[in-house]
Amino acid sequence: PPVIDDMAREFSIQSEHVINTGFYRPNLALHVTACRDDNDRDRQLAQRLKQPGNTPSVVYVTLQKTAERVAAMLRQTGLNAQHYHAGMAADARARVQDEFMASDANVVVATIAFGMGVDKSNIRSVYHYNLAKGFESYMQEIGRAGRDGLNAEALLLFGAQDVGTARRLVENNDNPEQKRIEVHKLNAMVGLAESVTCRRRVLLNYFGERLEQD
């Protein structure tokens, strides 16, 4: 709601002209799987991606080196996987994106640099190898799955070590106010991962929507 208010004010949009279609995507299943370490994470990710109907897929990671390593690991298992991050040359990024758009068997392992302008309607699954920065990033990234209206999956591979890694990245921010906001967002993501109640209700509640039942 605060973002909607900001946009309406900055663009001089009258309240009667605001259309908010909501965040509830009934065709998108939300899952969180516990992982002991990266080896366990790699195994679970490869197993999921090899199941029929789980590609095309996007795997989001935090670090560029992680994108390269995980893509190489998936290729070793026989999957058609490529990495994508901002450190790559522009023509290399364009090639990966073009191949992903043209194929229904591709997997892209990417940092948040991947996604803007990628309008592929039949992405069947979005995986988070690491914790997203916050609910806003998480919702945007998983929202790339199932745009054709058919069933799709969002899976977060979560390990306790992820929290420490994410906190270290947040601590590098020299702006105290921005750091406070980032810590709040991170805590919300950890709460979603560790939730013992309906995660969809937790997620929608953050965006100001109420779901009456699990």
Spatial contact of 149 and 27, defined as CB atoms under 8 Å apart: yes
Quick one: pLDDT at residue 2? 83
Tell me, what DSSP letter sits at residue 120?
Answer: -
pLDDT at res. 109: 97
pLDDT of residue 161: 78
pTM value?
Answer: 0.89
| Gap between the Cα atoms of 164 and 160, Å rounded | 8
CA-atom Rg of the chain in angstroms? 18
pLDDT value at position 117?
66
pLDDT < 70 positions in the chain = 116-117
